[in-house]
Amino acid sequence: MTQRKSPTAILHEGPRALSSDQVREIEESDLAGVLHVDIDDVIEYVHKDLKSLPGFTTLYRRYLKQRWDVYDLDFTQDKADWDEKMTEDERQSFIAVASGFHHGERQVEIELPVFMIGASEEEKLHIAAQIEDEARHTVFFDRFYREVVGLQGDDIMDILDASFPWVSETFVGPFGLLAYQADEVRRNPYDERARVRYGTNYFLWIEGVLALSVMKVTLSYARWRGFLPAYYTGFTATCRDESRHVQGGMRYLQQAVRKDPSMIGEIHNTLRTILSLSGVNSRQIYYEPLGWTEDEVRMLFFQQLRRKLNDVGIDLTPDLEELLRRVQPVLAGG
């Protein structure tokens, strides 16, 4: 963690090719080695295979190699950084961003099992692995909030309750929708249209856009400042896990559209709902102490959305382009 690249440098870099050494470092680093991996490289790595999406068995084999033990992390230095080095503004901004993840990881863990029912046998392996990943990420945040932030509680739900006041009211948009979509899939697990709508929200929007963008904010801050090494390590490893989830999810959506081109309408309808909600905030989150502005974060969202749609070959309708144009901020000098 010696590099001090600007947190927002990725906004201006655009797509770039990773060297074979960089790919090897991302794919093969053990947990201790992940501390030295650049988060921008991991986010770029998510897109590396989107055009030639790997199969579910390949993703499952990667999971077996990349799986990490959340209890191997030592948060002692993070606690010292949190208490002694970070300013109150930095702590408040960090926790406002991280709390969305604390709850988001829990939500994507519990809403995924129903999607497995209607999946192919190979995809079931991948989804089973993903559920275990998400459970591990939930424990990661539970440990971070207990051992670094200092929240107290008897069980995981107590800690979730304690961090919930930092979660924005607009969180219910994508995550409430996911809960209801999961129920729709539960009632009709082989309804491919319901599964595509669910997959669009879960894999494309929540994991592919929201998660990767907001991960980038706290991780680039930690790397930039040289703080929170266990958080950086665990969350960068989480990002590597998410790359498999996004690739698997995009493969599912791509196959669904190839099999039945009318499925594109389900993707568009889902994006229409999501985008109609995404230009609204209920509270001010000050990203500046972490090196970002709100407009830069939203710009990152839409860059991530565009790249995934382009890579997977999903075009937007004119009304969706217009909706996107209206909710997308324009960065000065961006």
SS3 at position 291: coil
Cβ contacts of 134 within 8 Å, gap of 6 or more: 105, 108, 109, 112
**Applying CB under 8 A, which part among 27-35, 71-79, 133-141, 268-276 lies near other proteins?**
268-276
Pick 2 or 284: Cβ nearer other proteins: 284
The least CB distance from residue 89 to other proteins, in Å, is: 19
Q: How far apart are CA 70 and CA 143, in angstroms?
A: 9
Q: Does 52 bind other proteins (CB under 8 A)?
A: no
Q: Does 157 bind other proteins (CB under 8 A)?
A: yes
Restricted to residues 80-139, the positions that interact with other proteins (CB under 8 A) are: 107
Q: Show the binding pattern over residues 216-255: x = contacts other proteins (CB under 8 A), - = does not.
A: ----------------------------------------
From 188, 198, 216, select the one nearest 117 (Cα to Cα).
188
Is 36 in contact with 1 (CB distance < 8 Å)? Answer: yes
Q: Is 200 exposed, middle or buried (0-12, 13-18, 19+ CB in 10 A)?
A: buried
Pick 63 or 101: Cβ nearer other proteins: 101
**Applying CB under 8 A, which part among 66-74, 136-144, 176-184, 231-239 lies near other proteins?**
176-184
Pick 71 or 164: Cβ nearer other proteins: 164
Pick 54 or 174: Cβ nearer other proteins: 174
Q: How far apart are CA 151 and CA 144, in angstroms?
A: 9
Question: Which of 197, 251, 298, 307 is close enough to bind other proteins by CB under 8 A?
Answer: 197
The least CB distance from residue 317 to other proteins, in Å, is: 15
Pick 29 or 181: Cβ nearer other proteins: 181
The least CB distance from residue 182 to other proteins, in Å, is: 8
Query: Residue 239 is which amino acid?
Result: C
Question: Which of 9, 32, 80, 280 is close enough to bind other proteins by CB under 8 A?
Answer: 280
Q: How far apart are CA 230 and CA 59, in angstroms?
A: 25
Count residues near other proteins (CB under 8 A).
Answer: 30
Is 184 in contact with 233 (CB distance < 8 Å)? Answer: no
From 179, 174, 220, 171, select the one nearest 10 (Cα to Cα).
220
Question: Which of 36, 79, 272, 306 is close enough to bind other proteins by CB under 8 A?
Answer: 272
The least CB distance from residue 173 to other proteins, in Å, is: 6
DSSP 31-72: HHHHTTS-HHHHHHHHHHTSTTPPPHHHHHHHHHHH---GGG
The least CB distance from residue 279 to other proteins, in Å, is: 8
Helices and strands of the chain, counted as H and E runs: 17, 0
Pick 89 or 169: Cβ nearer other proteins: 169
The H or E element containing residue 274 is helix 263-278
Q: Scanning the structure block, which residue is given the tokens 């770039």?
A: 16
**Applying CB under 8 A, which part among 79-87, 146-154, 281-289, 310-318 lies near other proteins?**
281-289
Question: Which of 58, 77, 269, 293 is close enough to bind other proteins by CB under 8 A?
Answer: 269
Question: Which of 71, 80, 164, 317 is close enough to bind other proteins by CB under 8 A?
Answer: 164
Q: Does 160 bind other proteins (CB under 8 A)?
A: yes
Q: Is 320 exposed, middle or buried (0-12, 13-18, 19+ CB in 10 A)?
A: middle
Which two three-digit tokens encode residue 198? 């669910």
The binding site for other proteins (CB under 8 A) comprises: 107, 157, 160, 164, 167, 169-173, 175-177, 179-181, 183-184, 197, 269-270, 272-273, 276-277, 280-284
